Amino acid sequence: MGRRGHKKQKAFKRATVDAVRKARIEKQQGQNGQSTANGDEATADDRPRVSTYDDIVKENALFEKYYKEMHLVPDNEWDAFLAALKEPLPVTFRVTGFRSHAFAVMHLIRERYFQPLESSTAIEKPKELVWYPGSLAWQLNLSRNQLRNFPELQRLKEFLYEQTEHGNISRQEAVSMIPPLVLDIQPHHKILDMCAAPGSKTAQIIECLHRDETNPIPSGFVIANDVDNKRCYTLVHQVKRLESPCFAIINHDASNLPNLKFNDENISFDRILCDVPCSGDGTLRKNPDLWKKWNPGHAFSLQSIQLRIATRGIQLLAPGGLMVYSTCSMNPVENESIVAQLLQTFEGHISLVDISDKLPGLQTIPGLTKWCIMGKNKEVYNSYEEVPPHMQSLARPNMFPPSQDILERLHLERCIRLLPHHQNTGAFFVALFRKLDKTVEVSSTQEETSQKRPAEEITFNEDGANFKRARYHRENPFIFFNENDITGFWQEISEFFGVDPSFPADQMMTRHAADSGRNIYFVSDSLKQIVTLNQDRIKFINMGVRLLVRTDLRNDKDKRSLRLSQEGIAIVNKYFTKRRIEIEEQDLIILLSHAFTHYANVSQSVQKQLENMSQDLGSTICTFTIKQHNLEVPIIFVAWRGRSSFRPFVSHSSRKFYLSLLNIDHSTINDIIEKLTIEEKASNEPRIEGKTNNDPKIEDS
């Protein structure tokens, strides 16, 4: 074999070894709760399981001994606690989005889906999560299996799936909704979500930021981070549904998160969510495989990274700001021990906020002030002094409760714990910190390490023979519109759509040169600053809303080769004054029922508006307000004006939702969608899936 052959073989061997190592790490991360036991709904739901729920032996002697020994639950509740852990978790969901929409969705659910359940004695009635604001979160006391088996629930199940796709519903564990609620988020807050994927809590935070329906561009923002590159893309999918120009997703180790520059200084965040990776035994009901895997060492191996992430969080918190620390683990080594350590490290600068009555109706127990740790052979230690030498490399002094006098100062009882048998939930831990002043400085070593890039990633070509080491998978840069773009090619587009002069065109960006990028995105002013000032040091994955999409039209007029994206409709609605059509109820029904609607079939009023509008082909903005039950629900969607027909860019799930709001019954809606699908197939048009799908072809002739 020649020299080159040897080199090739060596490279292949190295690549293979690295690949095996990477796979092992990923598997380990899964076991560490980073990708399996993470308390979220988005990834766990449809994961294929090796054994069925009922096959699994839900027992673990070490688990029982450990938690019983430390009196995690009052003795007289132990049996109920254990029994609840062995039951499947009920389905919980919350209604998302702007208030008017959310209340309309909730009204629909009550009238159309909850009411028929009233008469059935076999089904437990849906239960409101009373501590969740606005009566918008519900629990269905049924396992997913049962849900599938009860015909009365089929329609509700279908609705929940569809509306999750539409972005109206978020299926999320009840306890996982708590951390964002205690943060008391306001639209002007600068927020950091340190370990954000898959993003159910990030979505909740973004919703709070947009609580003022009249302002689609709040001044606050969310920086959502996760160390796992793949999970960052799950996060993208989750938050894109919310159509917010105020979020950015970044990919770093949160324990070493670099400082982010903003307004000539490093950002201090008003609110931080620190929902760390954990051993996840609070999710036993959802992930019963954990029964056989549980061992006390799991918590030991995670404590150090949990503490480092939370420490970095406190450093990045603004004076007066709030940071919530949460886990879906019951183990005090991952919970109270971290809280105690933080309170001691930052003594005088942070305090623990009592959140026991922050959410009226939520049943909690206080944080523990006494606990023990356990070795592999069931031996229990109450203090570090008791730990034998062979265990001392595993157990650290800070895993134990501090001395009594220190404990009294810390008020660990202000943390809250959620137990599964109290309100039929998973188990959870939450602590809320307030930062008192600005005297906690970032140490120079921390500052140095925090400038590090994300972990190295290795890329292979197909045969694995050649590989190059990349520092990380590079994203295309985000390029904002400059003066030339705004006074140049944008002018014509702006005129075409009648863009209001107050529109901040310099907040648009592409991933290529501005005049050739396929997608044009829009971000808030603050986010633009953050990206511009930090792009060289921070790995931004995604941000903002897609406003315009370049079509494949063979036409050299830019104004016609860009179409509006439904994702940016709130911004478009505020600033784009031309090509707007106020439709009537009958138009809405026709448009939603067909892939294309011929102009002869729309109302006189719409026909007139079309005559008065420029005759150019291109995007139009259709608006209608559904008024019912004291609610006004604005419906705004993009449609393509073709030569002889309209094509609305509305997904099937959105069509079903709008048709339901118009009081059209379930089976008629299903018939409509069936016919629509046939029409789409006949015209060779791909179905519009979600709100952020690739674009279907456009009628241009």
Ligand X SMILES: C[S@@+](CC[C@H](N)C(=O)[O-])C[C@H]1O[C@@H](n2cnc3c(N)ncnc32)[C@H](O)[C@@H]1O
Query: From CA 316, how far away is CA 446, in angstroms rounded?
Result: 12
Residue 34 or 510 having the CB closest to ligand X: 34
Q: Please tell me whether residue 282 binds ligand X under the rule CB under 6 A.
A: no
Q: Which of 90, 97, 167, 199 binds ligand X (CB under 6 A)?
A: 199
Tell me which residues in 156-185 interact with ligand X (CB under 6 A). Answer: 176
Contact 247, 211 (CB under 8 A): no
In this structure, which amino acid lies at residue 196? A
DSSP E strands in 365-492: the ranges are: 365-366, 373-374, 380-381, 416-418, 428-435, 457-460, 467-470, 479-480
- Please tell me whether residue 195 binds ligand X under the rule CB under 6 A: yes
Known binding-site residue numbers for S-adenosyl-L-methionine: 195-201, 226, 253, 275
- Single out the segment in contact with ligand X by CB under 6 A; choices: 197-205, 419-427, 531-539, 653-661: 197-205
Closest of 545, 558, 564, 554 to residue 488, by C-alpha: 558
C-alpha span between 576 and 568 (Å, rounded): 11
Span of 52-60, 253-261, 330-338, 566-574 interacting with ligand X by CB under 6 A: 253-261
What CA–CA distances, in Å, run from 71 to 66, 78, 384, 611?
9, 9, 19, 76
Residue 305 interacts with ligand X (CB under 6 A): yes or no: yes
Span near ligand X by CB under 6 A; candidates 195-203, 461-469, 655-663, 676-684 = 195-203
CB of 204 to ligand X, least distance (A): 8
Using the rule CB under 6 A, is 277 a contact of ligand X?
Answer: yes
Q: Could you tell me the smallest distance in angstroms from the CB atom of residue 230 to ligand X?
A: 9
State how beta strands 317-327 and 269-275 pair: parallel
Contact 68, 408 (CB under 8 A): no
Name the residue whose CB lies closest to ligand X.
195
Q: Taking the complex as a whole, how short is the minimal distance between the CB of residue 446 and ligand X, in angstroms?
A: 15
Give the ranges where 524-603 is alpha helix by DSSP (H): 525-534, 558-561, 569-575, 585-593
Q: Tokens at residue 247, please?
A: 């979020």
- Check residue 275 for interaction with ligand X (CB under 6 A): yes
CA 286, distance to chain mean position in Å, is: 19
622 is catalytic: no
Residue nearer to ligand X on the CB measure, 197 or 698: 197
- Tell the smallest beta-carbon distance from residue 540 to ligand X (Å): 15
Cβ-based neighbours of 590, under 8 Å, separated by 6 or more: 597, 601, 602
Q: Please, which of residues 22-41 interact with ligand X by CB under 6 A?
A: 34, 38-40
Does the protein bind ligand X through residue 253 (CB under 6 A)?
Answer: yes
The answer to the question of residue 251 lying near ligand X (CB under 6 A) is no
CA distance 610 to 33: 56
| Window 479 to 508, contacts with ligand X (CB under 6 A) | none
Least separation in angstroms between CB 195 and ligand X: 3
Q: Nearest Cα to 297, choosing from 28, 84, 79?
A: 28
**Orientation angle between helical segments 297-316 and 336-345, nearest 10 degrees:** 40
Instruction: Tell whether residue 207 is a contact of ligand X (CB under 6 A).
Output: no
Q: Does 226 bind ligand X (CB under 6 A)?
A: yes
Q: How far is the CB of 34 from ligand X (least distance, A)?
A: 4
Please identify which residue in 164, 200, 524, 660 interacts with ligand X, judged by CB under 6 A.
Answer: 200
Nearest approach in angstroms of CB 256 to ligand X is 8
Of 232, 246, 274, 328, the catalytic one is 328
- Residue 443 is given by DSSP the state P
Annotated binding site: 195-201, 226, 253, 275
Distance CA 681, CA 169 (A): 28
Site membership for ligand X, residue 255 (CB under 6 A): yes
CA dist 201 and 615 (Å) reads 45
Catalytic residues: 328
- Which residues of the chain form contacts with ligand X (CB under 6 A)? 34, 38-40, 176, 195-201, 225-228, 231, 253-255, 275, 277, 305, 309
